[in-house]
A = this chain, B = another copy of it.
């Protein structure tokens, strides 16, 4: 079965998002995916670490596409940012504050404990920054400003996710969006 692998990747992504890396067991993954235990080592000979690396890259890329699609929907950066943060808030509420960033929890867990996986998360974030920079360049910003704004957008979103999930409130997403908008307007005036 080729799509057994896809089911494992998908189930692992969902569990990592909610429970993190060390908090998710391989047995729980195969149970969720409806796959036999041996399939993990068939498709991922490197075990949990290899599975995690592939999940980080695939779910990281999927989330990048989702956010870029949201940003592309508006020709005005301020509107794009506000609608994107509002959409993130809606998703958060709709999923009981579970579905935020798919790799943030794992990224913090592995940052000082697993060099291979840390590098995988760094690649994903670097891709997000590059994609965001492209958007801001198309909105008319010079490349250095565009990169700073892209990073500010991502860090604000990630930090807001943290506070929102802890507090079970979307207030932080509103405040964070305001800061990004202020940074965009400040860059527009130069």
Q: How many copies does the complex hold?
A: 2
Residues from chain B with Cβ under 8 Å of A98 in the complex: 111-112
Asked if A180 is an interface residue, CB under 8 A from chain B, the answer is yes
Whether A176 lies near B152 (C-beta < 8 A) is: yes
Partner of A156, one of B112, B126, B152: B152
Whether A175 lies near B155 (C-beta < 8 A) is: yes
Given A152-B178, A152-B179, are A20 and B162 neighbors across the interface (CB < 8 Å)?
no
Partner of A158, one of B111, B125, B159: B159
Residues from chain B with Cβ under 8 Å of A96 in the complex: 112
Whether A18 lies near B182 (C-beta < 8 A) is: no
In chain A, positions 134-167 with a C-beta closer than 8 Å to chain B are: 147-149, 151-152, 154-160, 162-163, 165-167
Partner of A159, one of B97, B113, B156, B186: B156
Measured CB to CB, the closest approach of chain B to A176, in angstroms, equals 4
Measured CB to CB, the closest approach of chain B to A9, in angstroms, equals 20
